[in-house]
Amino acid sequence: MDELLIKQLESMALEIALAAGSLLVNERPVHLSVDTKTSETDVVTAMDKAAEAFIVESIKAERPNDVFLGEEGSVNISPNPSNVQWIVDPIDGTVNYLHRHPIWSVSIGVKVDHITQIGVVHAPLLRETYLAVKGQGAFLINETGKQKISISRNTTLGHTLVATGFSYESEKRKKHSKVISEISDKVRDFRRDGSAAIDLCMVGLGRVDAYFETGLHPWDYTAGALFVQEAGGVTGGLAGEPLNDELAIAANPGVFNEFATLIRDNYQKFYLSLRFK
Ligand code: LIP
């Protein structure tokens, strides 16, 4: 892999995520306009759109031929598209942002030739940034500097602290609640923080041991999934599949297999429509 290119993409992703974070904190209007998307609870604010436009313009200014996949619909029609794709969620945890709840993030994943090389998740109100560079590790950046981090060492399913999230679709939410109820006596406890990108990074940091959710999109998980892998963790989906929109599972290597089997078995039970190999 071209080290100079990776270095450039890493510093661009970091710089632009931090600048977008400042915009979202400092330029939030008193009266924030809100629209809905797939359901009454699936909201998008004017700041989601403003932050995504800022991120895309900032990237295009330096790399005009790169390709985009943005939650708010950004694409880049370049006559000769490059082999670099930016997967952008300007606010992961929009409902939290709307409610002035601190758990939200700017998530930027960068793929080169379809492989994720860089993942940046910036959580301005937590004063933390989570950086992963493929083959180079996962890092926590905060006021005390940049530290290389590693995942938790827990190997007992019953001691596993699980992060999870609910879809905006009410039918899926009901099924998810059944899965949670079914596994609730087999794990330590649950955390529902409201940002998949942050949830995945909390697995990488060892602040939780496992995470699962269904119905996500690449902009929710691309950066966070690399962070888990570079921290020494494991990610996956349905049996034999990578972590994807249908099912996202991440955990430390000590509990992944047992945890993934538990989740897959219960999805079979409650999500019968799901394709199962
Ligand atoms: C959110 C995810 C969260 C999930 C929400 C939503 P958004 O992304 O981060 O984990 O539970 O349903 O998908 O919409 O805030 O970018």
**CB-ligand 1 contact for 106 (6 Å cutoff):** no
pLDDT bucket at 215, cuts 50 / 70 / 90: very high
Find the helix or strand (DSSP H, E) in which 261 lies: helix 256-270
Q: Higher confidence at residue 146 or residue 38?
A: 146
Q: Of ligand 1's atoms, which has the minimum distance to the CA of residue 48?
A: 16
**CB-ligand 1 contact for 195 (6 Å cutoff):** yes
Res 277 pLDDT > 70: no
Q: What is the pLDDT of residues 39-64, one digit of tens each?
A: 899 999 999 999 999 999 999 999 99
pLDDT of 274 = 47
**CB-ligand 1 contact for 96 (6 Å cutoff):** no
pTM of the predicted model, to two decimals?
0.96
User: Do 228 and 116 touch, CB atoms closer than 8 A?
Assistant: no
- Average pLDDT across the chain, whole number: 95
pLDDT bucket at 273, cuts 50 / 70 / 90: low
Distance, CA 196 to ligand 1 centroid (Å)? 6
pLDDT of 29 = 97
pLDDT of 19 = 98
Q: What does 75-138 look like in DSSP terms, one character per residue?
A: ----SS--SEEEEEEEEETHHHHHTT-S--EEEEEEEETTEEEEEEEEEGGGTEEEEEETTTEE
pLDDT bucket at 151, cuts 50 / 70 / 90: very high
